[in-house]
Chains A and B, each alone.
Chain A
Amino acid sequence: MNPTVARLTLRGLLGRRRGILLLVVPALLLLVSALASGAGGDERDLTVKILGQLGLGTLVPILGLVVGTGVIATEIDDGSIVYLLAKPLPRWQIVTTKLAVAIGTTWVFAAVPTLLSGLLLYGTRDGVALGYTVAVLVAGAAYSALFLLLGVVTRHAVVAGLAYALIWESLIGNFVAGARTLSVQQWGRSVAEAVAGDAAIGADVSFGVAVPLLLAVTVAATVLASVKLAGLTLAGDE
């Protein structure tokens, strides 16, 4: 961790009006929850749907994508990363610092509203709110690491990340059961299920598989991003 790099990254991520734009994510989740909690109906089904499909399934990947690529890909893109790379600072430290900022931001903007809307929708019963919050915490961290790696590796990080999050996890995952084994979202669900102790969440990956995979992906992505950043050459725009 390097406090100066962290401060600059945070300012780049949330400075100007960008922080307000990111606030759309928690605001939307809370708004939908507030609408749903007033409507009645099958609360449990609705909670699982809102927190699972909207929160964990859509908002967290997109937030992770914007934040994970926002901390480093934008700097690589406009070339200002050279001023950072030229400092006498190990490059793995740059990666870990930026990753810490990304994870922290994802947690604040996704996990906190998830907990709030879970409590709003279903209260403290069965630990559903807590389960999804823990799921968002771990999935958010994994997504941040994964998308930060993409930002270092390719100039089309956002498109590649979207293709993974929306095509692979949502579209293919809906039809092909095997694709769900390699899906951060499903690993998160599995964690939620284990914390809430409840089969209604419907995880397809067992807890014993999900946790090692989550850890492995997060650590491997961080290490690979450090290695890639160490050998980074700045190419021109295609």
Chain B
Amino acid sequence: MSLPPDTRSADTGVIHDIGYRGYTGPRLGRAYATRSLFTQSLRAAYGLGRSGKSKVLPMLVLGVVSVPAVVMVAIALATGAKALPLDYPRYLSSFAPVVSIFLASQAPVLLSRDLRYHTVPLYFSRPITRADYVRAKFAAMVCAQFLLMAAPLVVLYLGAVLGRLDFGHNTEHFLIGLVAALLYALVPSSVALVIAAATPRRGFGVAGIMGYLAISTVVVAILTRIGTATEFTVPDSAQWFALLSPNDLVESLTNQLFDVDGAVGRMHAPGGLGAVVFTAAVLAMVSGSYGLLLRRYRSV
């Protein structure tokens, strides 16, 4: 039975000096911590620094997106073609479903796991603020998406330049392609991150994001065809439906702004008013989602 503290004799306790020291070196601060979170998240999006299993899908998608570009360049050079078989922005819109799969599977990797294992409060015990956390994660996801789409474009461009295709034309369209890639990286990702932040379960996040992207694309495809029976041209009045789906929104906007590939039946924002409204929709989607993310992390 132990005695109450005040009855014990004073000299039984000893504090050993085992050489603990305070840290007097430089403190790297908030910006450094945010940058670290950004690089770590960007690496995690590609499975770098994680287990071998989690590298499978990102690398597979990267391969599926890039290898056709290599093949196209090879075919164009072998046959001595004057132009690439697929223009840069068209290449991106053709591979949008595959890029969406990357987004759907990796956005929850960045956000849902932190929520599920309650590691978010641990971040906030560092100098990082809530806004920093959102900024770093948002930038990491957008960056990962952009790199995924920029890779095949660079392959196409390098191939075109080395193969002595028309330099001016290719440079112009390559830059348009990069702008399109940035838009494709911004708009669907911002919506996907909001969905991912809403659930601590990875599976639901993946299904939710992919469900939203896939279903909205099909709905747009059907709604634009309602009034037009079977012919392939879509009237301007039906083009407005593209606002419902992030991928179609970006495709329509870039087609209208840069007037790429005047093929029949392409999606485009209807006229000058359309371009303005579609741009406003892009801005509203990105800033709205960012605002929602900030609000989501105000109390975690």
Could you list which residues of chain A lie within 8 angstroms of chain B, going by C-beta atoms? Answer: 28, 32, 35-36, 39-42, 45-46, 49-50, 53-54, 57-59, 62, 65-66, 69-70, 73-74, 77, 156-159, 162-163, 166-167, 170-171, 238
Contacts and interface: CB of A to CB of B under 8 A. Distances in A.
B235 interface: no
Specify which of A36, A53, A58, A66 lies most central, judged by the most chain B CB atoms within 10 Å of its CB.
A58
B122 interface: no
Given A41-B227, A50-B222, A66-B207, A159 B214 contact: no
Interface residues of B, number: 31
A238 B51 contact: yes
Contacts of A158: 202-203, 206-207
B34 to A, nearest CB: 26
A159 B57 contact: yes
Contact of A166 (B51, B53, B97, B228): B97
Interface in B74-108: 97-98, 101, 104-105
Contacts of B54: 238
Given A77-B201, A238-B54, 7 more contacts: A28-B219, A40-B227, A42-B229, A49-B225, A70-B203, A70-B204, A171-B97
A159 B97 contact: no
- Give the residue among A45, A54, A70, A158 with the most B Cβ atoms within 10 A: A158
B226 A159 contact: no
B215 interface: yes
Contacts of B201: 74, 77
A58 B217 CA distance: 10
A115 B72 CA distance: 45
B218 interface: yes
Interface in B186-242: 201-204, 206-207, 210-211, 214-215, 218-219, 221-223, 225-230
Contacts of B118: none
A222 to B, nearest CB: 21
A157 B51 contact: no
24 contacts: A28-B219, A32-B219, A32-B222, A35-B223, A36-B226, A41-B227, A45-B229, A45-B230, A46-B222, A49-B222, A54-B222, A57-B218, A62-B210, A62-B215, A65-B207, A66-B204, A77-B202, A158-B207, A159-B101, A162-B206, A162-B210, A163-B101, A238-B53, A238-B54
